[in-house]
Structure 1
Amino acid sequence: MNKKLLIIGHVWPEPRSSAAGSRMMQLINAFQKEEYEIIFASACAKSDNAFDLSEIGIVQANIEMNHSSFDHFVKSFNPDVVLFDRFMTEEQFGWRVAEQCPDALRILDTEDLHCLRKGRQQAFKDGKTFNSSYLFNDFSKREMASIYRCDLSLIISEVEMDILKKEFKMPPDLLLYLPFQLDLISNQEISRLPNVEDRQHFVTIGNFLHEPNYNSILYLKETIWPLIREKLPHAQLHIYGAYASQKVNQLHHEKSGFLIKGFATDVNEVMAKSKVCLAPLRFGAGLKGKLVDAMKNGTPCVMTSIAAEGMFGDLEPNGFVVDAPDLIAENAVLLYENNSIWREKQHHGFKVLNQRFNKLNFHDGFFNDIHHTIRHLKAHRQTNFTGQMLQHHLLQSTKYMSKWIEEKHKEN
């Protein structure tokens, strides 16, 4: 009998729009390889960019928040594993899963640590240096509670693993390091990529709804791009991303070569034609999908330390990691003009992907941990008293708030 997986999504996966969407597709593919029967359920409306999961044999289910219909739905499917794609999803549906399917393994995919991203963003707004007072915010209280209530949590970055263990004293047996899971890049694939002489222009890409991405575009527009154009007066910066609003589109400026291109139908085609990728993120968390896209397509990057965090380990980056705007511009011009350095940095990128994010290095360990935890689930939960305590609290507060909301809806 096939094992069953229920994924409860805050949103439907959009692999062409965000790193989070790509990450979810990687997880789905991994569970399919292990022959899990999978249902993906979400209360969110689908956008035009959502991937049609039925194309790969995944059942798609619409569910309602604060509605007992979910109880019947989850109990009838009776999953072996339930995966929540963000802590907010676990807050909403976790107690119902625990009530209806107490023996199901509950996994949280954190995507990135929201509390870290929100804390860094607030420190940036305040013009202050990020420290623990910004890390221990209201998001961290909710996020850590969700990690404790789940049996395993998937952490995408080694940096975030360290933060959870050192700053939050999180028990290591609740955490599982699982970064991007990518296919090996072969020499044959590399040979098919455009040479440096056949590329032109700078590029940056990212979902515009994601505040770190929008902020980096402003940073480029107001500070960095003018410095680059002083040295390269004919260069262009092509800016791609999903959900470009009016405030994004109004940054478009033909005369200065600052071009808002909007949604990229094929990110690989866009990236492979470009010469240098710029990623001047000033706050954020997790791993950056734009850097993976750049490395896959042999496009060296100039990035801030926030953008580079967790990506390279002990390996050389696929470009330059600098934070001062004048150094970002200086190294961007250097990469653009020096083909020898460009090729060296490109080579580093292929090495990083193949050594650090090869899915074959993680697949067996991931499922060994899952199946071991399932076999010893009672003992695993008994050692997590904090999780039991928080589960008890959740069943007394969130549960009855949800039931109250459901009754209010009936009155209307």
Structure 2
Amino acid sequence: MQKLLIIGLVWPEPTSSAAGWRMMQLIALFLEQNFEVHFASAAGKSAFSADLKTLGIQEHEINLNDSSFDEFVKNLNPLLVLFDRFMIEEQFGWRVRENCPNALTFLDTEDLHFLRKARELAYKKNKEIDLYTVEAKREIAAILRCDISLIISKEEFTLLTEQFHIPAGLLHYLPFLEDEVTEEEIQHWKSFEERKDFIFIGNFLHEPNWQTVLTLKKGIWPTIQKQLPDAELHIYGAYASQKVYDLQNKKEKFIVKDRAINARMAMQNYRVLLAPITFGAGVKGKFIDAMKSGTPSVTTTIGAESMSQNLNWNGTIQDDFSLFIQDAINLYADENFWQTAQNNGIEIIKKNYSSTIFKPDFFERIQYLLDNIQAHRKQHFISEIMNFHFAQSSKYMSLWIEEKNKKI
């Protein structure tokens, strides 16, 4: 049986974040193809970590800057190694390549971290965005070192190939993978009349979600609440700190609800998702959940980035907050407008996120790379150069840290 080793930044938490949900989708893909899946992480588990063992996945605890990993990966001898974000490739990539030189290496970017950080800095300092940062150098270097990198957003694929001139042969577009919405599912959705109130949902370890809630609290909700006095706004999110709970005001009908164990089931109770996202990157899992639960949304250009592509949005997209507010009110009150938006979401899932479209191409690409790995590496020889020089510096830094730790 072919072996896949996934090295995780954290143990996946599918109920906490879109990143955890994305990882579980990737795991399911390889299990469907009868891979023997191993998941290793240096992070501790939480109460919300997925129970991977029940899926037949072998779990391994590993340490940073520790040569015990060398023996572990050499004995495991995986055919494929998937790095969960570029920081993990920086830590373990050189060890994998030194001990398993023929293993196919994947980087799952989740979203482009350097893009998100650059947008955050530009937003907070009210200045032009600068993408040419230290974070960009680190993340793009990791992309160049891997045989293939998974990109979740077409916008980010274009950014990498056109602005940073990354060869398309080192990238693979793989969005969230969803089953199409069936008529039976639609029949079980709550109707316009059966739903009420507005919702926002997001992991509060993710800074864009916190800033979005602040925007709702200060700039969006007060006006909506005046015009729709019977409506409430409910805020859901994993890892909410006290500052989030402090925003609750029942008189203003601004309610903080903690995490949703099942986001899609929770969303089906609400009429509209509000997400005035001001910075971020990647594809937002909250909108997939909304479309899969028949809940229209009002968001910004960055919020909807890369999702609808040439299709009509599951609601409206507005960067002007006065128009955002008016659209939210109209979508909440107008059943025909709302129904059209819901239908748009069904179409977006079908055309842009259907697993039947993207699964076959993904595994064809994997098989091609496995069959032609040496030719692929010669074609992208810059990756070999990057690996050679990075290994020299990282290896000795890591060994130095390991020796230092032994003396503590």
* Superposition TM-score, scaled by structure 1 size: 0.98
Structure 1 unaligned segments of length 5 or more: list them.
Answer: none
Residue 41 of structure 1 corresponds to: 40
Of 154, 158, 173, the residue aligned with 2:154 is: 158
Q: Once the 2 structures are TM-superposed, how far is the Cα of residue 71 of structure 1 from its aligned partner?
A: 0.5
Trace 1:355-366 onto structure 2 (pairs within 5 A). Answer: 355-366=351-362
Residue aligning to 1:95? 94
More displaced, 197-206 or 385-394? 385-394
The alignment partner of 1:7 has SS state of strand
C-alpha deviation, 1:389, in angstroms: 1.5
Q: Indicate conservation of the 8 Å contact 1:227/1:326, yes or no.
A: no
Q: Partner of 1:197: helix, strand, or coil?
A: coil
Match of 2:2 in 1: 3
Between the aligned partners of 1:27 and 1:99, the Cα distance in structure 2 is 25
Which amino acid is 1:208 matched to?
A: F
Q: Secondary structure at the match of 2:60?
A: strand
Partner residue of 2:235 out of 236, 239, 254: 239
C-alpha separation in 2, matches of 1:327 and 1:12: 40
1:269 paired residue number: 265
2:63 aligns to what SS in structure 1? coil
3-state DSSP class of the match of 2:268? helix
1:66 is aligned to: 65
Letter of the aligned partner of 2:335 in structure 1? N
Counting only pairs closer than 5 Å after superposition, residues 98-177 of structure 1 correspond to structure 2 as 98-130=97-129, 134-177=130-173
- For residue 280 of structure 2, the aligned residue among 273, 280, 284 is 284
Give the Cα–Cα distance (whole angstroms) in 2 for the partners of residues 197 and 367 of structure 1: 44
Task: For residue 383 of structure 2, give the secondary structure of its aligned residue in structure 1.
Answer: helix
Deviation at 1:129, TM superposition (A): 3.5
Q: Deviations over 1:123-177 (max 9, x none)?
A: 10121243xxx11111110011000100000000110010001110000100100
Alignment-mate amino acid for residue 366 of structure 2? I
Tell me whether 1:353 sits opposite 2:349 in the alignment. Answer: yes
Q: Which amino acid aligns with 1:110?
A: T
CA–CA separation in structure 2 for the residues paired with 1:270 and 1:237: 13
What is the CA–CA distance in structure 2 between the aligned matches of 1:69 and 1:142, rounded to whole Å?
A: 25
For these two proteins, the number of residue pairs brought into alignment is 408
Answer yes or no: is 1:82 the counterpart of 2:81.
yes
Distance 2:386 2:245 in 1: 45
Mean Cα deviation higher: 148-157 or 381-390: 381-390
Q: Which residue of 1 aligns with 2:307?
A: 311
1:186-265 equivalences under 5 Å are: 186-265=182-261
> What is the distance in 2 between the residues matched to 1:234 and 1:325?
21
Secondary structure at the counterpart of residue 273 of structure 1: coil
1:303 counterpart letter in structure 2: T
Residue-by-residue CA offset, 1:281-336 (whole Å, 9 max, x unaligned): 10000000000110000000000000100100111110000011111111000000
The root-mean-square deviation of aligned C-alpha atoms, in Å, is 0.7
User: For residue 160 of structure 2, what is the amino acid of its counterpart?
Assistant: L
Identical counterparts, % of pairs? 50
Matched, 1:323 2:322: no
SS in 1 for 2:6: strand
Counterpart CA distance in 2 for 1:276 and 1:26 is 26
Query: Deviation of residue 99 (structure 1)?
Result: 0.2
Q: Secondary structure at the match of 1:71?
A: helix
393, 396, 405: which one pairs with 2:392?
Answer: 396
- 1:30 corresponds in structure 2 to 29
What amino acid maps onto 1:395 in structure 2? Answer: A
For residues 157 and 8 of structure 2, what CA distance do their matches in structure 1 show?
A: 23
1:80 shift after superposition? 0.3
TM-superposed deviation, 1:66: 0.3
Counterpart-to-counterpart distance in 1, 2:297 and 2:270: 11
Distance between the aligned counterparts of 2:133 and 2:359, measured in 1? 34
Displacement, 1:388?
1.3
How far is the alpha carbon of 1:385 from its aligned partner?
Answer: 2.4
Distance 2:267 2:46 in 1: 24
Specify the SS of the correspondent of 1:207: coil
Supply the distance in 2 between the matched residues of 1:399 and 1:260 (Cα, whole angstroms): 47
The letter of the residue matching 1:193 is W
The structural deviation recorded for 1:113 is 0.5
Render the CA deviation track for 1:253-295: whole Å, top value 9, x for unaligned.
Answer: 1110111101112212210000000111100000000001100
Of stretches 235-244 and 378-387 in structure 1, the one that deviates more from structure 2 is: 378-387
In structure 2, list runs of 5 or more residues that go unmatched: none
Residue type of the partner of 1:11? V
C-alpha displacement at 1:340, in angstroms? 0.7
**1:67 alignment partner AA:** D
SS at match of 1:362: helix
Say whether 1:333 aligns with 2:320: no
What residue identity is the alignment partner of 1:33? E
